[in-house]
Amino acid sequence: MGILDAFRIDDRVAVVTGAGRGIGAATAVALAEAGADVVISARHRDQLEKVAEEVRAVGRRAHVVPADLSDLDAAAGLADAAVEAFGRLDIVVNNVGGSIPNALMDTDPGYLADAFHFNVNTAHALTRAAVPHLLAGEGGSIVNISSVIGRVAGRGYLAYGTAKAALTHYTRLAATDLSPRVRVNAVAVGSVLTSALEYVASDEAIMGQMESSTPLGRVGRPEEIAAAVLYLSSPAGAYLTGKILEVDGGLQVPNLDLGLPDLTPEA
């Protein structure tokens, strides 16, 4: 096998959550270009259908499952949907997640619980449902999309960063439980130019701050995260499990200062 062949995943089947746009969409197309059929899920059918067209344009099959993936039954159901549509399941990409920044004193326990639910519980629900199908085949690969904010500290990121830190360690623990036949890894992403950053991209001052605060001098592209997911999913990454691949432009601190002030006695 040549080195480029090691990145092929011909005739494998992947599930990608949050695949209507951004990192999820780029990942679905990248996996298809490498030979996989994909089940893609997100809230909006119209976005998913556009991604499905790109998948089919490279000669692979796409199965669209519109769903609110904060519903754990819906998230778990994607594993069966893959087997029903394509007869097997080999790769799971837990991409859905996120949380809006908030000051600590405005982050009540329910907000923190919601962030954990959307970033960790959804991944666990799909992972748990997928494992029997992965074991029924040749084993498989699970890739969780975490964040640099799970590793570095900045004001306003308490809920999101705590949830992503939990997902990062979940990755290590799940890898231990599921080895040797199912590999579990994560990609810890930095700032990536997706629709979630549209408000930043339109503000030259904020974008300039983010770029100048990133060692590589720019924000990332969804396709760069997708390339990392492909590596972890393919035979090229077959000797990795429980690892966190940091694709963040070299960040050691957050590159977006939310400008939250010091607390006062009245706060």
Mind listing the pLDDT tens digit for each residue in 121-134?
999 999 999 999 99
- Please, which residues have CB within 8 angstroms of residue 131's CB and are 6 or more apart in sequence? 178, 182
Q: What is the mean pLDDT of residues 198-208?
A: 78
Q: Which runs of E-coded beta strand occur in 49-192?
A: 62-66, 91-94, 140-147, 182-189
Angle at 212 (CA atoms; ends 210, 217), nearest 5 degrees: 95
pLDDT value at position 204? 84
Amino acid at the residue 64: V
The confidence score (pLDDT) of residue 203 equals: 80
DSSP single-letter state for residue 175: H
Q: Which helix (H) or strand (E) holds 38?
A: strand 37-42
pLDDT digit string, tens, across residues 27-47:
999 999 999 999 999 999 999
The verdict on whether 170 is a catalytic residue reads no
What does the pLDDT average to over 1-23?
95
Mean of the per-residue pLDDT values for the chain? Answer: 95
Mean pLDDT confidence for 92-105: 94
The arithmetic mean of pLDDT across residues 157-167, rounded, is 97
For each of the domains in the chain, give its residue range(s) and CATH number, in order of start.
8-242 (3.40.50.720)
DSSP assignment of 22-34: HHHHHHHHHHHHT
pTM above 0.75, yes or no: yes
Examine residue 180 and say whether the peptide bond preceding it is cis (omega within 30 degrees of 0). yes
Greatest Cα pair distance, the chain, in angstroms, is 66
Catalytic residue among 160, 170, 231, 239: 160
* pLDDT for residue 9: 98
Query: Is 161 a residue whose pLDDT tops 60?
Result: yes
Instruction: Return the sign of the alpha-carbon dihedral for residues 161, 167, 170, 175.
Output: negative
